[in-house]
Structure 1
Amino acid sequence: MVFSLIPVEVGQRGTVREFPGFNSQEDAAKLRKAMKGLGTDEDAIIEVLARRTIAQRQQIKADFKTAYGRDLISDLKSEISGNFEQVVLGLMMTPVLYDVHELKKAIKGAGTDEGCLIEILASRSNAEIRQIVTAYKKEYGKSLEDDICGDTSAMFQRVLVSLATGNRDEGNAVDEQRAKQDAQVLYEAGEKQWGTDEVAFLSVLCVRNPVHLRRGKPFTS
C-alpha cells in the first residue's frame, strides 16, 4: 500500500534527513511524469516527496513552476484525492502553515478537536506561536484568538488564548522554592477546594517553563 512508503515518526518534527545527491530539477521532472497522461503514479510521488526535507520539497515546487509553468500543488490536487491527497499536501506545507491548517480543521465544523489545539499550542516555541498567529490571519482573514473564542468557552478558552500569546517562559531554570509554591498554589486552587481558581491555574500552567512545572510538589499532600 502507498501509505506504507511514508516514513512516520510520531511526536517529532523535521525527522526526514536531507536526501543525498538531491537534484530538485530531476525530482520536478519525476513528478511531472507521474502526473502526465492517463492515470497517476502515486508510488513515484511518494518516492520523491516523502524522502525529501521540507526545504528540498519547497525547491522542487519552485523548479516545477520554472520548468513547466504550472503550480505543483494545483497539479497534485487535480490528480489525487482522499486521504492520500491530504498526506501529500501536508508534505508540501511548511511546518507553520501545516499547524495553521490543523488548527483551523480542529476549530471548524461540528465539535472541537481539543487535543489537536492543545498539542500544537502547548508544544510550539514562542517564535513558532507568533508565526502561526500571523500566518493564520493571512490565510483565513480572521485572528486565531477570535476563532478560539468563537468555538471554545470557560477555562479551556482562557488557557488556549493565553498559550496563543506566545509569551511562555522558555528557559530551563528552576527556582526550587517557587516551584514548590506554584505546586501549592495549584493544590489550593483545585484539589483542596470545591471548584477551581482559574486565574491561579492560568498564571502557573501557561507561563512557567516545562522543567519548572515538573519539579514542584505541594507542601501539603
Structure 2
Amino acid sequence: MQKETDNWFASWFNTPYYHILYKDRDYEEAGNFMNQLTSYLQLPIGAKIMDLACGKGRHAKYLNKLGYEVTGVDLSPESIAYAKKFENDTLHFEVHDMCKPYPRQFDGVFNLFTSFGYFESEEDNLRTIKAIKSNLKENGRGVIDFLNVQKVKKHLNPKEKKTVGDITFSIERYLENDYIFKDIKFSDKGQDYFFTERVKALHLEDFKDYFDQAGVRLTDCFGNYSLAEFDEETSERLILIFGK
C-alpha cells in the first residue's frame, strides 16, 4: 500500500475514489452560496466568471444556469473530462494549473470549497493570488472560500470511518508543521489505497500578507455561505473577496 504525498492533489483528485468519498456534498447549499455571492457582487447576467479548481464543475454548472458565461479550470484531467459533457456555448472546461495566469480576464474569479493551500512550495500560494489578479478585469472581484483554521483546530475529529457503497474509508486528521492533514485509507476489489490530503493552516492574517505582496485589496470577509460576518472563533468558513 503506497501513500501518495508528493503533489497529492494531482493524484488523489484524479481518482474516482475522491468523488465517491465526497459524493454527499450539499448541492443545495452550494447553489444558495452562488445565489448569495453573485447577488452581493452585483454581477449582471452574462458576466464572465472563472471557477478556479472547479473539480467536476458543480459550481460552474450552477453559475451557468443563473445566466453567466463560465469557464471552469482544474488540474485533474479526469474531472475536466467529466465536466466537458456539460459544455455549451457559455460553459467551458479546461485543464489548467491555478498557479499560472489564464489567457483571459473575467468579472469574477471564484476559488471555492477549500481549493487553496495545497502546494509543496509556499511560493505557489502567492503565485496563485497573482494569477487570479492577472485574470481579473479592472473592476473584477476574486473570491477565495477557505476553511476557518481556528475553528478546525479546536474541533478536529482525529478518527472517523465512513462507508460509501461497498467501500469503508478510514480517516485520520492531525496537525503537523502548520498543515492540516487527512490520511485516507481504504480497500477496493482486493487493492489497498492510502492517500493524504494536506492543506496549509492559513489564517486571515496570512491571506492579508499574500494580498499585500500580490498588490490586491481585500474588500470583504465573511464567515459562512450566507455571507454572515466572519468571527475567528465561531465561523465555519473564511470567505475572502478582493480586487485590484
TM-score norm. by structure 1 comes to 0.23
Q: Which one has a larger percent strand, Structure 1 or Structure 2? A: 2
Structure number with bigger Rg:
1
Relative contact order, higher structure (CA 8 A, sep 6+): 2
TM-score norm. by structure 2 comes to 0.22
